[in-house]
Amino acid sequence: MITVNATEFKAKCLQFLDDVRDDGQIVIVTKHGEQVAQLIPMATKERPKVKAGFMKDRVKILGDIMEPFDDAWVTDDKWL
Which domains, ranges and CATH numbers included, belong to the chain? 2-39 (3.40.1620.10)
Residue 33 binned pLDDT confidence (cut-offs 50, 70, 90): very high
- Side chain identity at residue 36, one-letter code: V
Q: What is the mean pLDDT of residues 21-29?
A: 92
Residue 75 binned pLDDT confidence (cut-offs 50, 70, 90): low
Q: What is the mean pLDDT of residues 23-30?
A: 93
CA distance 18 to 11: 14
Coil, helix or strand at residue 30: strand
Q: Computed from CA positions of residues 42, 45, 50, 55, in that sequence, does the dihedral angle turn out positive or negative? A: positive
User: Does the structure show a pLDDT above 60 at 68?
Assistant: yes
CA distance 75 to 10: 57
**pLDDT at residue 72, rounded to an integer:** 67
